Structure 1
Amino acid sequence: MAEPRLFGIPPGADFPAAFVAGLIARHGAGPPEALARAEVFVNTRRMQRRIEAAFDAGPARLLPRLQLVTDIGARLPLPGLPPTLPPLRRRLELARLVAALLERAPELAPGTAAFDLAESLGALFDEMQGEGVPPEKLEELDVSDQSGHWQRSLTFINLVRNFLSEAGAEAIDAEARQRLAVEALIARWDKAPPEHPVIVAGSTGSRGTTARLMQAVARLPQGAVVLPGFDFDMPPHGWAALTDARSGEDHPQFRFARLCEALGMEPGAVHPWHEAATAPDPARNRTLSLVLRPAPVTDQWLSEGRDMPDPRAAMARVTLIEAPGPREEAGAIALILRDAVERGVRAALVTPDRVLTRQVTAALDRWGIIPDDSAGRPLELTAPGRFLRQTAALLVAPPPADALMALLKHPLAATGGAEGGKERGAHVLHARELELHLRRRGIPHPHGQDIRAWGEAREEHRDWAFWLAEVLEAVPAPERRPLAEHLKAHLRLAETLAAGPGQEGAGELWLKAAGIEALRQMQALEREAAHGGEVTPAEYAALIHQILAEREVRETVAADSRVMIWGTLEARAQGADLVIAAGLNEGVWPAQPGADPWLNRQMRHAVGLLLPERRIGLSAHDFQQAAGAAELVLTRALRDAEAQTVPSRWLNRLTNYLGGISDEGRAALAEMRARGNHWLALARRLDAAENRVEPARRPAPRPPVEVRPRRLSITEISHLVRDPYAIYARHVLGLRPLDPLRPQPEASQRGTVVHTIMERFLRSVGDGAPLTTGTLMDIAREVMEAEVPWPLARRLWLARLARIAGWIVEGEASRLAGAFPAALEKDCTLKLEDPRFTLTGRIDRVDLLADGTFAVYDYKTGSVPTRKQVRHFDPQLPLSALAVSRGAVEGVAPGAVTQAAYIGLGTNPKFTPIEIDAALLEEAETSLFRLVSTYLDPSTGYVSRRAMFRSAYPGDYDHLARHGEWEDSDAPEPEDVGR
């Protein structure tokens, strides 16, 4: 052939099998060693393995020399060039330089962005070197309309350019070396063209260096380029619309059009690689070719659509699933894959959505089907990855209780004992007891001394507690220090926790595939850590997260070879009878182009860099390749976790085309959806319960009278009125809400703290301290420092108290003018005889007035109840006055109560007195007798949520009562229990 040799394999064809078939056919009856002399460059390792597997299928023959395009730079000897600069070293050194620049010019960016900016700058220069764009070309840009932003960008770009220039004598960037190696190889071929076949197979030429190699190979006397997924159905005017990158780069065939243009040939001159390399469904390929035409020429749908094959025949083996949500989408996909296994059909799920693939994998597990997942799992999500991230967080700050317990319960913690499970079991038991202690004591940030004190009080946990305390106390202070020191401390901490008490080594941390890969990454960082300079613990933890997130691990499992999960890139190198193209929503497939902080779209086009649409174009090519399969399923979810979704542009084009081209097109679309609805219906039936479980009724349990409580606090009387079920659960069943592992500042705790402040304030005044706001605030600061472990909450609560401090002092001066506190925060016990019942409580304050009577006060940091609420729901103050009048308060003799009031200490302070007299106290006593007698009646049940203040307020025992299966308006159903 006189012209450059470009060949193509149509979308949907099994590229590796078709390529091997064509290569063998071209070899013909030549000698065996002729095939072995052929040199084949492929784009991925997976493509290489698939081609080797196609040859292995037989008959026996010598294989051509297969190598990766990306290996040229590493394998080709280039005398005089320095070694390749390791990517991690480049990232660390760039981050150090960027951090130093940000320290001198903090207005450019926050200092915490150093590693992210370094990574982004490195990627920009990789692209510039790959596309052959010299840094000097950036200075030629016309940036008159955006000079401020560009000057900031140029500051960083010049920093990287100077760094690479200075480092060039000692090491060269990998992308630059690849470009130089390809140019050297091309120069060698120009002088002495190889006499053996040289072929580039399976690459789209999306990167400049690879495209340059493909152009050179296509011109060699024995060279050829075999393009994957080449659209032989595109007419010349369709190709002509792909001349401008700004309008055509998002088209699946744009890179092929650009390659043909560079070679001075028309796309129509691209030849089929082999007669056996045919599309599984040529009619569908023709339809999709028209559907995916460039945007400026989509009017050709009308002019050429009438000449297309019958839409119903073209779409006869296409299923469209439009699921209500991701769960339903995953369920339907799993059913289709299971059906394929039963039919003996090789099936592949192709999607860039890793969350969806994990959901499908979980759904397949119900049938014991383990798919062959090409991507594996991100290293950061494996057990070693999570353990390393959790231990790195310990370097940043002392761990909160929940983070500490999560780390201690991690499956890799304490796995170094010779007795294995026995020592691990003891560790888990110790951790459980420590968790209960932390919950009971409400310690939000346990330190070494807290754990040591707990161990001293519990002999059986002493050794373990002292070991853990020593581990936490050995964590260095969170200071800026060299990266190598952070890494050394991190590895020591991780290995100590993984080994367990008194054990050497690292337990099971570095075992299995994930552990081995994690160790490899940590060792790589250890080798290059000297180039990282000084970093903060937070920056170190972020770096560890980034390094782990960039790696994926394929753990050894007995996968079913008939069910595969591929990313979109892997799909090019594979072949399957059934392909499920899933996640077809905008933002997923295709993904949104990432923001470029350095060059906008116009600037990229001006200097010759790739436009953001390149990634969309590659995704479009992957879609066209997958959509050409013999049997195709297209799926999307109509909603995600947040909102309504937008269908992928390619799916949108297909449905619009079919819905508007003709009646046959609309019928084809309806049939596609009907097939999809069939699988959705099966998925719904599978998820539906075989036996419908009736929702619970609103409970009102009636336990035996002898187990009903005969002792309640004054506060619990309100609970008995509003939510009797809570009293039943607490006092009959003996259940207590589990304290949070990480307590948060709540209104109840603020109330407790304010009560303590007022008690200490009044006692200090009685001891001679001045009645001033200064005295009050000094006491408040002391109390909050001791009892409020949250700095932000301390500041907020102190500020609130300071705003009303003057009002408090003024009110206390008035109240104490003719009285003095006879009781502050004292317990009370009031016993009733018939029925036998004991009322307990803690009275906030009782003042002895000048006339010998008493005043009872109740502090409220929240809303103050109204008189009707006091009368019917919250009788706390009348019952407190009743206890005082009966002499039930510790240290207070019986006497008349003539005053009672709520002292509101919230945002809007108020003093709310209630009229107190003998009649009110008698009514309170009568109401208490009536209430107690009612719940000592066997026919009375403890109704759940009887009279909640607000329906939205949750109760501690709502989950036990199965609230949500019934409404607050439902009638209760009394039920005898405990007999």
Structure 2
Amino acid sequence: MRLYDIPAHQPFLPALARGVLDQVGSDPLALSRTTILLPTRRAALALREAFLKAAEGRTLLLPRMRALTGLSTQEADELALPTLLDLPPAVDPARRQAVLTSLVMRLPSRFGGPDTPEQAWRLATALAELLDETALEDADFANLARLVPEEFSTHWQVTLTFLRAVLDTWAGWLESQGLMDIGPRRTAALRAQAEEWKRAPPADPVIAAGIGAGGTIPAAAALLKVVAQMPNGCVLLHGAGEITSPELWAAIGESPTHPLSGQVRLLSAMDAAPGDLQPWPTAIATDPALERRAALLACALRPAAGIEAWLHRRPAHWRPALEGLSLLDAPDVQAEAVAIALLLREALETPGSRAALITPDRDLGRRVAAELTRHGVVADDSAGQPLGQTPTGAYLRLLGRAVAEGFAPVSLLALLKHPLTAGGQTRSEWMEAVRLLERRALRGPRPAPGLPGLRARVLEAFRREKDAVLLARVIGLLDALETCLAGFEELRDSPARPPADLLERHLAAAEALAATRDRPGGLRLYAAEEGEPLAVFLSTLPPALAEMPPMSPAGWPALFDVLLEGPAAPSVRIGRGREHAQHPRIAILGLLEARLQDFDLAVLGSLEEGVWPQATDPGPWMSRPMRADFGLPEPESRIGRVAADFFLGAACAPRVVLSRARKRAGAPTVPSRWLTRLETFLAGQRGDRGEGLALPRSPALDWASRIDQPDAVRPWP
């Protein structure tokens, strides 16, 4: 079994690229015959750049680099294999969500069931995650029969009984449709690849690199075991060599929140021992302080069984580890964003330097991206923008909300002033009428609900004879609004309708209202950057919503909102209105996207409990004891996954800033457990004078406080 490890303080992808080039030698075709499996597509793209950099100008035929996803519940995906053609096709995610929603709606509200369709959609999302986790973790739904309802509270007894019925119905629906659930098909893909390579190992090299840093599912672990046992295969890990003893190995394996717990469990599933790990033949020369920092982090994050290392006070040994490491303790999230933007901008002063903000907090990412524009730097959040928050998505949501609220002034004006709204007129004509409507009719008592009430309020406001011309303009706006929304506006007080019918009326009204004199509404609605992904997504909804029962039109806007923010809706990246492209040396990344990446400056943002790491919620369908009896991993394993991202991100960058905000939404926050452990460990490293070590403070907060303050206030001459 060939198992290798790259130390945590070394950049993973450059070391991998140089090592592969050294192994293939001077044969230009040998590299192209090599297959490298990586955890993400972004890592595959970054490895391509690492190969080109390591080649130093030579022409290369790059290896086959494939993203072997399916490594955890959140990251599963299928492989493209010929054997998959024999399997039933996977169910469409939107259709699965709708069918599960219809099943969840059968649970009475007095037993904890949903009161509204959007609540049912959210519960169905959690149920879909449970289905995927069950399949990916090789749990068996037959184990539900072993759970004794009498051992749980009444709520969980009802939930368990209902869950059994839902799963039986869901399995029958899949069979009747000739489909396969997403999770089982993903694990089938991994098993098919493992069986294929076990039966006929490839003659060319296969390297599984960086997979399992945060843990893997059993099917992926079985595939990696096959790769490690192939004559020309090997598995390459990152940072597992920090485990120094068999006792510590066992303790980490029993501590699901430890950063290396996932790799220990992976190696155990592969029947490997610590002694089986070999150092990767090619090492990257790094600053010795980085190696000391990786050792510091490994020591500070040890599980309770290995805490005896904290008793040894060696301040002189650990002081070099603090070089390049600093703490940013901001008063609030906005101050944190301003300071981080300054740090990223400052990194650009060094030629060739690359900097990144790594955070699971999408709000912080958007704030930093906005602050960077102040410095002339464009940097997109890698997570993109949810469809519902794009300009077109916001327009569709505003339309539904205005109709549902009976054209209340606030929601009505938000819709009428949206750049896409024109009502068949020119934009200037439309906005002139909107301003008249707002000033004369809506700045006073609220009109009666609906367009008739609005029309009566307008006639009252423009009742004077000299207002006839102005009245004609506003009445023209109301006539256009009534014409465009015909068929959708009257649904507000109508009986229950199929959701697919409501969607059709909604989109028809949106296209009509977006039209101008010279351009159809459909072309305007879907012409922006988000237009194509939005149109594709909306086209998948009618067959999915056909699986749901009729619903009250009054609940449609809330359901439409969750449709655009749910797991089936893609995120998009928008560069509208920007003069420059995204900066090539600045990145804002989520935890998954940042894996295996290396930067000269890494800012680890939102290091607060509940954010990074996230809260350990077992979900609405099973309690912790139920999950344990059912055979699912503990919720704390999710913390171990993101702990690995923290450990590896803080270990290998020459400059690292650990950032947190003391308040979030006005409420005090709790520092991340890893930050607390690191500061506590350093404080205990006391020297002869009794003073412990501490993380250096980043100067960025001082920069941020002075950026809007002049050096001196001089009187006007």
Q: TM-score range by the shorter chain?
A: 0.7 to 0.9
Task: Specify the alignment match of 1:462 in structure 2.
Answer: 475
| Pairing 1:574–2:570 present | no
Shift of 1:232: 2.7
Task: Specify the alignment match of 1:553 in structure 2.
Answer: 572
Other structure's SS at 1:226 match: strand
Cα distance in 2, alignment partners of residues 296 and 106 from structure 1: 46
1:602 and 1:76, CA in 2 relative to 1: closer, same or farther beyond 3 A?
farther
1:10 and 1:399, CA in 2 relative to 1: closer, same or farther beyond 3 A?
farther
Alignment of 1:618-657 (within 5 A): 618-628=641-651, 629-657=653-681
Alignment of 1:250-269 (within 5 A): 250-269=257-276
Q: 2:28 aligns with which of 12, 29, 32?
A: 32
1:268 and 1:499, CA in 2 relative to 1: closer, same or farther beyond 3 A?
farther
Other structure's SS at 1:8 match: strand
Q: Does the Cα contact within 8 Å between 2:325 and 2:655 map onto a contact in 1? A: yes
Q: Does the Cα contact within 8 Å between 1:73 and 1:180 map onto a contact in 2? A: no
1:20 and 1:13, CA in 2 relative to 1: closer, same or farther beyond 3 A?
same
Alignment of 1:601-612 (within 5 A): 601-612=624-635
Cα distance in 2, alignment partners of residues 692 and 156 from structure 1: 70
| Pairing 1:482–2:510 present | no
Q: Does the Cα contact within 8 Å between 2:514 and 2:520 map onto a contact in 1? A: no
Task: Specify the alignment match of 1:434 in structure 2.
Answer: 437
| Pairing 1:52–2:62 present | no
| Pairing 1:117–2:131 present | no
Q: Does the Cα contact within 8 Å between 2:330 and 2:660 map onto a contact in 1? A: yes
Task: Give the gaps of 5 or more residues in structure 2.
Answer: 70-76, 463-467
Q: Does the Cα contact within 8 Å between 1:361 and 1:371 map onto a contact in 2? A: yes
Letter in 2 for 1:221: P
Q: Does the Cα contact within 8 Å between 1:135 and 1:161 map onto a contact in 2? A: no
Cα deviations by residue, 1:602-658 (Å, 9 ceiling, x for unpaired): 332333312211221111101001101111111112222322221110010111011
Alignment of 1:352-751 (within 5 A): 352-394=360-402, 396-414=404-422, 423-453=426-456, 454=458, 457=468, 458-474=471-487, 475-478=489-492, 479-500=495-516, 504-506=520-522, 508-537=524-553, 539-550=555-566, 551-556=570-575, 558-628=581-651, 629-663=653-687, 669-670=693-694, 672-673=696-697, 676=698, 678-688=699-709
State the TM-score, normalizing by the size of structure 2: 0.88
Shift of 1:6: 2.0
Task: Specify the alignment match of 1:145 in structure 2.
Answer: 151
Cα distance in 2, alignment partners of residues 507 and 80 from structure 1: 41
Q: 1:188 aligns with which of 190, 196, 218?
A: 196
Alignment of 1:304-323 (within 5 A): 305-306=313-314, 310-323=317-330
Cα distance in 2, alignment partners of residues 656 and 220 from structure 1: 45
Task: Specify the alignment match of 2:465 in structure 1.
Answer: none
State the TM-score, normalizing by the size of structure 1: 0.65
Shift of 1:278: 6.1
1:191 and 1:366, CA in 2 relative to 1: closer, same or farther beyond 3 A?
closer
Letter in 1 for 2:497: R
Q: 2:240 aligns with which of 226, 230, 234?
A: 230
Cα distance in 2, alignment partners of residues 518 and 325 from structure 1: 34
Cα distance in 1, alignment partners of residues 388 and 509 from structure 2: 18
Q: Looking at secondary structure, tell me which structure has more strand per residue.
A: 1
Shift of 1:147: 5.3
Task: Specify the alignment match of 1:219 in structure 2.
Answer: 229
Cα distance in 1, alignment partners of residues 546 and 142 from structure 2: 31
Q: Does the Cα contact within 8 Å between 1:91 and 1:115 map onto a contact in 2? A: yes
Q: Does the Cα contact within 8 Å between 2:96 and 2:544 map onto a contact in 1? A: no
1:215 and 1:377, CA in 2 relative to 1: closer, same or farther beyond 3 A?
same
Structure showing greater relative contact order (alpha-carbon pairs closer than 8 Å, 6 or more residues apart): 2
Cα distance in 2, alignment partners of residues 603 and 442 from structure 1: 55
Shift of 1:107: 3.1
1:502 and 1:39, CA in 2 relative to 1: closer, same or farther beyond 3 A?
closer
Cα distance in 1, alignment partners of residues 626 and 316 from structure 2: 43
Q: 1:293 aligns with which of 298, 302, 316?
A: 302
Cα deviations by residue, 1:578-623 (Å, 9 ceiling, x for unpaired): 1111111111211112341122223323333122112211111010
Letter in 2 for 1:15: F
Shift of 1:148: 2.6
Other structure's SS at 1:185 match: helix
Cα distance in 2, alignment partners of residues 6 and 79 from structure 1: 32
Other structure's SS at 1:560 match: coil
Letter in 1 for 2:393: G
Letter in 2 for 1:21: R
Cα distance in 2, alignment partners of residues 449 and 546 from structure 1: 30
Q: Does the Cα contact within 8 Å between 2:491 and 2:553 map onto a contact in 1? A: no
Alignment of 1:841-920 (within 5 A): none
Q: Does the Cα contact within 8 Å between 2:685 and 2:693 map onto a contact in 1? A: no
Shift of 1:503: 5.7
Shift of 1:444: 4.3
Shift of 1:311: 2.2
Cα RMSD (Å) of the superposition? 2.7
1:481 and 1:395, CA in 2 relative to 1: closer, same or farther beyond 3 A?
farther
Task: Specify the alignment match of 2:74 in structure 1.
Answer: none
Cα deviations by residue, 1:86-121 (Å, 9 ceiling, x for unpaired): 11111111111222x236x75341332321222211
Shift of 1:691: 6.2
Cα deviations by residue, 1:525-557 (Å, 9 ceiling, x for unpaired): 134332233233355433432332243211245
Task: Specify the alignment match of 1:872 in structure 2.
Answer: none
Other structure's SS at 1:342 match: coil
Letter in 2 for 1:413: T
Cα distance in 1, alignment partners of residues 154 and 449 from structure 2: 49
Shift of 1:125: 0.9
Cα distance in 1, alignment partners of residues 192 and 593 from structure 2: 30
Other structure's SS at 2:532 match: helix
Deviates more, 1:488-497 or 1:684-693: 684-693
Shift of 1:365: 2.1
Shift of 1:462: 3.3
Shift of 1:451: 4.3
1:73 and 1:367, CA in 2 relative to 1: closer, same or farther beyond 3 A?
closer
1:9 and 1:416, CA in 2 relative to 1: closer, same or farther beyond 3 A?
farther
Rg bigger for which structure?
Answer: 1
Report the number of matched residues: 675
Task: Specify the alignment match of 1:63 in structure 2.
Answer: 62
Cα distance in 2, alignment partners of residues 12 and 547 from structure 1: 43
Q: Does the Cα contact within 8 Å between 1:73 and 1:179 map onto a contact in 2? A: no
Other structure's SS at 1:151 match: helix
1:568 and 1:108, CA in 2 relative to 1: closer, same or farther beyond 3 A?
closer
Cα deviations by residue, 1:72-98 (Å, 9 ceiling, x for unpaired): 444443354211111111111111122
Cα deviations by residue, 1:468-493 (Å, 9 ceiling, x for unpaired): 13334532423421121011011012
Other structure's SS at 2:342 match: helix
Other structure's SS at 1:687 match: coil
Cα distance in 2, alignment partners of residues 529 and 515 from structure 1: 21
Other structure's SS at 2:557 match: helix
